[in-house]
A and B are shown apart, each in its own frame.
Chain A
Amino acid sequence: SQKIEQNSEALNIQEGKTATLTCNYTNYSPAYLQWYRQDPGRGPVFLLLIRENEKEKRKERLKVTFDTTLKQSLFHITASQPADSATYLCALGGANNLFFGTGTRLTVIP
C-alpha cells in the first residue's frame, strides 16, 4: 500500500523567512497531489492542487512543486507570518479519494 512521509512532525521558523515542507511517497503514482492546512480543533482546509504533469503551482505566498521521478512534493510559504502557524497535510490523489500524510506542524516565531 502507499506510504506517505512528511519531513518532520514540527518545524519552527522565524517570521519573514521561507518555510519549506516536504512530502515523500512510495508505492503509488498519484495523478495529482493536494495540500491542506489544519488548525487546532478544526477540519483540514484545501490550499493547492498540483497535477502529475505540472512541475510547479503558485498561489499568493504559496508554492508547490511536484517531482514524480523523486516521488516528492515541496510546499513553500514565502514571507512567513505567525498566522501561517498550523499543521500542513499533503494528500495523494486516488480515483476519487485521497491518502493523507500525518502532517507537519509549522510554527512561525514573531
Chain B
Amino acid sequence: DAGVIQSPRHEVTEMGQEVTLRCKPISGHNSLFWYRQTMMRGLELLIYFNNNVPIDDSGMPEDRFSAKMPNASFSTLKIQPSEPRDSAVYFCASKKVAANNEQFFGPGTRLTVL
C-alpha cells in the first residue's frame, strides 16, 4: 500500500491566490482528516469526513477555507484567497471509522504564502 498520498509536497504562492491541496487516503479507510501544523499552534484539526460526509468543520479558520471529498479516494482543501498567515504544513490523515483506530498521516504539504 502506498500510504496516504498528498500533493503538492511544496507550494509557494502569493497572497490573494487560490491554493488547492490534494489527498488520496489509504484504500479501505473511510475517515479522512485535514490538519494544519505550525510551530506556535502545533497540529490542529481543520475538518474530518466519515464516508465522504463532513462531520466536523469547526476547526476551519474562516470562510476562505473549504474542503471537499467527492469520493472515497480523493479530497481537496482549498484556500481562497490565501494570506501569509496561512503558511504552514498541511497534513491529511485517514483511518477506518472504528473509534480508536490509529490515524495514518501523509507526508504533508508545506505551504508558503508570500
Contacts and interface: CB of A to CB of B under 8 A. Distances in A.
A42 B108 contact: yes
Contacts of B43: 44, 89, 100, 102-103
9 contacts: A31-B100, A34-B100, A44-B43, A45-B105, A49-B102, A93-B99, A95-B99, A100-B42, A102-B42
Describe B's contact surface by its main secondary structure.
Answer: strand
Interface of A: 31-32, 34, 41-46, 49, 51, 89, 93, 95-103
Nearest to B50: A96
Interface of B: 4, 31, 33, 35, 41-45, 48, 50, 55-56, 91, 93, 97, 99-100, 102-108
Contacts, number: 57
Nearest to B9: A41
B39 to A, nearest CB: 9
Contacts of A97: 33, 45, 48, 56
Contacts of B105: 43-45
Contacts of A101: 42
Contacts of A31: 99-100
A46 B43 CA distance: 14
B107 A96 contact: no
A66 to B, nearest CB: 13
A32, A34, A44 interface centre (most CB from chain B within 10 Å): A44
B103 A46 contact: yes
